[in-house]
Amino acid sequence: MREITYLEAVREAMSQEMRENKDVFILGEDIGVYGGAFGVTRGMIEEFGEERVRNTPISESAIAGTAIGAALTGMRPILELQFSDFITISMDQIVNQAAKLRYMYGGKGKVPMVLRTPAGSGTGAAAQHSQSLEAWMTHIPGLKVVQPSTAYDAKGLLKAAMDDDNPVIFYEHKLLYKTKGDVPEKQYSIPLGKADVKREGTDVTIVATAIMVHKALEAAVELEKEGISVEVVDPRTLVPLDTETIIESVKKTSRLVVVHEAVKRGGYGGEIASVIAESDAFDYLDAPIKRLGGKAVPIPYNPKLEKAAVPQVPDIIEAVKETLNKRIATHA
Amino acid sequence: MKRTLENIEKQFETFQILNEEGKIINEDAMPDLSDDELKELMHRMVYTRILDQRSIALNRQGRLGFYAPTAGQEGSQLGTQYALEQEDFILPAYRDVPQLIWQGLPLYQAFLFSRGHYHGNQMPEGVHALSPQIIIGAQYTQAAGIALGMKIRGKKNVAITYTGDGGTSQGDFYEGMNFAGAYKAPAIFVVQNNRFAISVPVEKQTAATTLAQKAVAAGIEGIQVDGMDILAVYAATKEARERAINGEGPTLIETLTYRYGPHTMAGDDPTRYRTEDLDNEWEKKDPLVRFRKFLENKGLWSEEEENKVIDQAKKEIKEAIKKADEQPKQKVTDLIKNMYEELPAHLQEQMEEYKAKESK
């Protein structure tokens, strides 16, 4: 199969959909000839013109509000927020408007829009351009939240997001843009709410999101050398969450490590741990659940400190080993 | 160095056609309305005044929920709405229920909106509108989007949105106008300047002499209109609409008006921040009084005719509140059902749980 990058997969998903569906258009800052801050929309204005690849003023609240307005009239906008940190500036439109309109209108009125935005650290972009704020979005009923980790997933999930009649927050990880993977040329859809077991294993389950899927897979390779078999589950969408796949995996391995880049406190890992604690998988646990997440500090500019602020492969290896050694007292 | 502010502000004179005595003072600007249409405007203002009085009473009786009184603003609200076509799109603020009603929202649904029943927000076929916005200014950016959608689809229609003087302090106010201006989207932005953002007078909200001048920075047309003069409001909106559908871009219309009542029925007491003198001064400008004089002078209106409207309004309000009472109560399963187009697994589970409870 053909290999393309995660970035190209996102672009291809949009381009193919825009060729099929005249109601789809993109709006965002510098997405025209400049191609967007990370180059995702490069070349698109040449194909689709400036009406459908619409450069906007630096005006996040208006980008979101305009997308909502357009969506309510039957358009299917994709809005690109240049950095996911800027979601804070459009928060009223996302939280109080997009998420609630269908509900408040008793189903008469819908907001079929996709908010695409690059998240995460690792590019030296410092405190205000590196955050992972997805847990905020998962807290709001009415939104769906997607975090693809591979090129294949990015294309299929974006297609599902564009087809969805509810607002979808689609987080792209900056460090994943250049990663390559096998991606079919034709359009395909990966249902929102379907986790993917990225690696099968028997000793411990790691539930990881976005960039951490890759770090977990690296850790799994290292641990295998020591005879530890790791299963890596990627939820792919946080809302809706495929609890079944996660619960089944934990029942099989009896151990759970959750890892995300977002600050651990209040992060989505807490939700995943709770899902297990509330399910019958709890009875299968042989060790306390271990959560890994970012330190409760802003992302530092200094590259070494930047790495130190979020979980790295050695941290995951250590957490897995700790889980294996620490049996729940009654089982000891 | 040339100073420009004073020159700009001087250009924003209040546009008026009908003065407080009910005399036409600007014959050239008089809109082309037939006698029947003029009577219809009066009919709607009288009806809406009665609706406001009844709504306040119903709220006090506990039969309505949230309500923002409208008396005093009829000229501004109904004059703008009357200039619209049925396919135009309205994004109202919370006080702008009358525009929805005259665009076709049944009264009983307006009452259900007040009670927080979702059916109150289900616009009937042919009414293109959002339900009243509660967040101050948020509708301005959405109006830009709806107008843009119309433009992309080649529709000859406009999106009209409303906020008060208070809304002009929000970022969304500027962002919405700037966005719509940049794309020449067919939007009309109405600021109903009723002089108070709840309790804060407009003079304390901004250094600007007019709110209409805020259009200048966005590069769009701005006009200040006597909001108590329904003819001027209608004419200004009509012209803004023409320009919008001809691709000439959005317009900001500031209507100078006044709300006689409290901000909302949720405990506001205007005597804490407004004087009786000010109330009296504005009541002399009343949109109904001056328009009645105008129509009576033309032999188009009589006390008898007005009483007929009042009786009709009272009767229809009574019927509508009865119909609202008869609407099935909202259930938890309705709320769950309304969340997503397709229910995700976690809500499906909750749905089953509540279905079982509700069937008991």
Question: Per residue in A118-129, pLDDT tens?
Answer: 999 999 999 999
Q: Are residues B222 and B283 in the same domain?
A: yes
Q: Are residues B198 and B340 in the same domain?
A: no
Is the per-residue pLDDT at A84 higher than 80? yes
The closest of B226, B217, B221, B231 to B192, measured between CA atoms, is B226
Q: Which two tokens stand for residue B81?
A: 């709405």
With an 8 Å Cβ cutoff, are B152 and A56 in contact?
Answer: no
Q: How far is A5 from chain B (nearest CA, A)?
A: 30
Q: What is the mean pLDDT of residues A232-241?
A: 98
Size of interface A-B (CB pairs under 8 A): 141
* CATH topology for the A3-182 domain: Rossmann fold (3.40.50)
Residue A327 binned pLDDT confidence (cut-offs 50, 70, 90): low
Q: Which residues of A touch B346 (CB under 8 A)?
A: 240-241, 243
Is the per-residue pLDDT at A150 higher than 80? yes
Residues of B within an 8 Å Cβ radius of A? 89, 91, 118-119, 121-123, 130-131, 135, 138, 140-150, 152-153, 159, 171-172, 175-176, 178-179, 182-183, 334-335, 337-341, 344-346
With an 8 Å Cβ cutoff, are A166 and B341 in contact?
Answer: yes
CATH class as words, domain A196-325: alpha beta
Q: Which of B143, B178, B346 sits opposite A69 (nearest CB)?
A: B143
Residue A328 binned pLDDT confidence (cut-offs 50, 70, 90): low
Catalytic residues of A, by residue number, are: 129
Q: Are residues B136 and B236 in the same domain?
A: yes
With an 8 Å Cβ cutoff, are B175 and A59 in contact?
Answer: yes
CA B122/CA B129 separation, integer angstroms? 10
Residues in chain B: 360
Residue A331 binned pLDDT confidence (cut-offs 50, 70, 90): very low
CA B281/CA B298 separation, integer angstroms? 26
**pLDDT tens figures, B56-82:** 999 999 999 999 999 999 999 999 999
Optimal mutation site among B91, B114, B141, B179, interface A, most CBs of chain A within 10 A: B141
CATH 3.40.50.920 domain residues, chain A: 196-325
With an 8 Å Cβ cutoff, are B149 and A243 in contact?
Answer: no
Q: Are residues B134 and B215 in the same domain?
A: yes
Output the CA angle B291-B293-B295, nearest 5 degrees. 70
**pLDDT tens figures, A106-149:** 999 999 999 999 999 999 999 999 999 999 999 999 999 999 99
Cα distances (angstroms) measured from residue B198 to each of B66, B183, B194, B337: 15, 33, 10, 36
Optimal mutation site among A53, A96, A103, interface B, most CBs of chain B within 10 A: A103
Interface of A with B in 189-208 (CB under 8 A): 193
Q: What is the CATH number of the domain that holds B322?
A: 3.40.50.970
Domain that holds residue B212: 5-328
Q: What is the CA radius of gyration of chain A?
A: 20
Q: Are residues B352 and B298 in the same domain?
A: no
Q: How far is B258 from chain A (nearest CA, A)?
A: 28
CA B256/CA B20 separation, integer angstroms? 13
pLDDT reported for residue B359: 87
Q: Are residues B131 and B168 in the same domain?
A: yes
- Chain B within 8 Å of A32 (Cβ-Cβ)? no
The answer to whether the beta carbons of residues B188 and B251 sit under 8 Å apart is yes
Which residues, other chains included, contact B340 with Cβ-Cβ below 8 Å and sequence gap of 6+? A102, A142, A144, A166, B347
With an 8 Å Cβ cutoff, are B138 and A72 in contact?
Answer: no
- List, in sequence order, every beta strand (DSSP E) within B117-260: 159-164, 187-193, 196-197, 200-201, 221-226, 251-256
pLDDT reported for residue B161: 98
Q: How far is A196 from chain B (nearest CA, A)?
A: 17
Q: Are residues B82 and B228 in the same domain?
A: yes
Q: Which residues of B touch A108 (CB under 8 A)?
A: 121-123
Of chain A, the percentage scoring pLDDT greater than 70 comes to 98
Q: Are residues B309 and B354 in the same domain?
A: no
**pLDDT tens figures, B293-320:** 999 999 999 999 999 999 999 999 999 9
| Counted domains in chain B | 2
Which residues, other chains included, contact B57 with Cβ-Cβ below 8 Å and sequence gap of 6+? none
Q: What is the pLDDT along chain B (360 residues), one digit of tens a residue?
A: 788 898 899 999 999 999 999 999 999 999 999 999 999 999 999 999 999 999 999 999 999 999 999 999 999 999 999 999 999 999 999 999 999 999 999 999 999 999 999 999 999 999 999 999 999 999 999 999 999 999 999 999 999 999 999 999 999 999 999 999 999 999 999 999 999 999 999 999 999 999 999 999 999 999 999 999 999 999 999 999 999 999 999 999 999 999 999 999 988 899 999 999 999 999 999 999 999 999 999 999 999 999 999 999 999 999 999 999 999 999 999 989 999 999 999 899 999 999 999 888
**pLDDT tens figures, B136-178:** 999 999 999 999 999 999 999 999 999 999 999 999 999 999 9
Q: Are residues B336 and B308 in the same domain?
A: no
Q: Are residues B202 and B342 in the same domain?
A: no
Q: How far is B328 from chain A (nearest CA, A)?
A: 13
ipTM of the complex model:
0.82
With an 8 Å Cβ cutoff, are A68 and B142 in contact?
Answer: yes
Q: How far is B288 from chain A (nearest CA, A)?
A: 33
With an 8 Å Cβ cutoff, are A104 and B144 in contact?
Answer: no
Model pTM score: 0.90
Q: Are residues B343 and B214 in the same domain?
A: no
With an 8 Å Cβ cutoff, are A61 and B150 in contact?
Answer: no
Cα distances (angstroms) measured from residue A182 to each of A152, B9, B70: 6, 62, 61
With an 8 Å Cβ cutoff, are A103 and B339 in contact?
Answer: yes
Cα distances (angstroms) measured from residue A238 to each of A80, B70, B304: 20, 44, 65
The closest of B43, B85, B81 to B237, measured between CA atoms, is B81
SS3 of residue A142 by DSSP: coil
The closest of A125, A116, A123 to A148, measured between CA atoms, is A116
CA A81/CA A27 separation, integer angstroms? 9
**pLDDT tens figures, A44-69:** 999 999 999 999 999 999 999 999 99
Residue A332 binned pLDDT confidence (cut-offs 50, 70, 90): very low
- Chain B within 8 Å of A278 (Cβ-Cβ)? no
Interface of A with B in 308-327 (CB under 8 A): none
Chain B: residue nearest A99 by CA?
B339
| Type of residue found at A247 | I
CA B77/CA B84 separation, integer angstroms? 12
